[in-house]
Structure 1
Amino acid sequence: MSAFIQQLPALIGVVIGALGSYAAVVRSDRARFLRERTARWEERRLSVYSDYARSLKKTVALTYRVASHLGADPHPHPLPMAEAQPLLAEAAVAREPSGETLIMLGSKEAVEKARVWVAVVLEMERFVREGRREPEAWQTLLAQQRAAREGYYAAVRSDLELPPGHGARAPLPSVPVA
């Protein structure tokens, strides 16, 4: 029995070491799981934010083209309202699911900014549906749309903890003339 008592401190040390090793592995696995889960959700939110922006931009692009047909915008590819109506309806239908997903997964600030942006886009759509030919009023709507889009992108970047700003307003590099 004295041999067992002599080896007891070593046995206790082995048990403590095994428990410590187990605790370290469990803690490490838990931390890795949390990091991976956070990364998955960030990827999903980025996808939701991008899908919503893309769906709104379809409507914006169509309104540019119709406004060009009306003489209110310099867009190089005018589109008559008769041809644009089914495309606008399709864009609105496509926007609904991405909007619902945004409400579910987006941050409160991003959802609020998305609502501001979509309100301006709907105003642009109303402008072209009414057949208005007022370039100054159209330019005001364009400025509001750009500001609303910037607000949405800023909220998205903040939610995803990305650096601020975007390069949409950066001057384009000059093209050498041959």
Structure 2
Amino acid sequence: MDLFLQQLPTLLGVVVGALGSYLALVRSDQARFRREEAARWEERRLAVYSDYARSVKKTVTVTYRIAAELGCGTHPDPLPLEEARPLLAEANAGRDPSGEALLMLGSVDVVDRARAWVVTVMEMERYVREGGRDPEAWQALLVRQRAGREGYYTAVREDLGLPPGHSARWRLPVTEPVPDQR
């Protein structure tokens, strides 16, 4: 019995060390799982945010083309409204599922900014469907749409913890007309 009592502190040290190692491993695994789970949700949110932006941009692009046909815009591929109707319907049908996913996974701020952006896009669509031909009114809608898009992207970047991004306002060089050299 005397030998057992001499070995008892060593045995207790081994048990306490094993238990401590086990608890440290469990906590480490739990922390890794939480990090991986958070990363998976971030990836999903980024995919939802991107899908929604793409779906809204489809409508924007079609309205740009119609506006060019109406004489309000400068898109290089003008499109008559009658030919654009199926494209608008397709864009709207695609926006609904991506909007539902956005509502499920998006932060409150991102969803609010998305709504502000899409409301302006819907106004652009109504404008071209009604045959609007006022270039100044169209330009005002474009300014609001670009601000809405910028607000949406800013909210997305903040939600995902990304640094500020580009405003997407491309400054195109002013080109001078080429003189006629006959």
Pairs within 5 Å for 1:1-178: 1-169=1-169, 171=171
Deviations 1:37-85 (A, max 9, x none): 0000000000000000000000000000000000000111000000000
Cα distance, 1:169 vs. partner?
Answer: 2.4
Whole-angstrom CA distance in 2 between matches of 1:16 and 1:76: 75
Deviations 1:90-143 (A, max 9, x none): 110110000000001000000000000000000000000000111110000000
**Percentage of pairs with the same residue:** 69
Contact 2:150 2:167 in 1 (8 A): no
Task: Give the 3 Å change call, closer, same or farther, for CA 171–66 of structure 1 in structure 2.
Answer: closer
The aligned amino acid for 2:120 is: V
Contact 2:157 2:164 in 1 (8 A): yes
TM-score under structure 2 length normalisation: 0.93
Cα distance, 1:165 vs. partner?
Answer: 2.6
The aligned amino acid for 2:55 is: S
**3-state SS of 2:104 partner:** helix
**3-state SS of 2:168 partner:** helix
- For structure 1, the 5+ residue unaligned runs are 174-178
Whole-angstrom CA distance in 2 between matches of 1:124 and 1:172: 23
The aligned amino acid for 1:127 is: Y
- For structure 2, the 5+ residue unaligned runs are 174-182
Whole-angstrom CA distance in 2 between matches of 1:169 and 1:133: 24
Cα distance, 1:164 vs. partner?
Answer: 1.3
Q: Which runs of 4+ in 1 moved over 6 A?
A: none
Whole-angstrom CA distance in 2 between matches of 1:76 and 1:137: 20
Whole-angstrom CA distance in 2 between matches of 1:167 and 1:8: 70
Whole-angstrom CA distance in 1 between matches of 2:129 and 2:83: 12
Task: Give the 3 Å change call, closer, same or farther, for CA 67–171 of structure 1 in structure 2.
Answer: closer
Contact 2:59 2:92 in 1 (8 A): yes
Cα distance, 1:166 vs. partner?
Answer: 1.7
Whole-angstrom CA distance in 2 between matches of 1:66 and 1:171: 23
2:180 aligns to what? none
Cα distance, 1:172 vs. partner?
Answer: 6.7
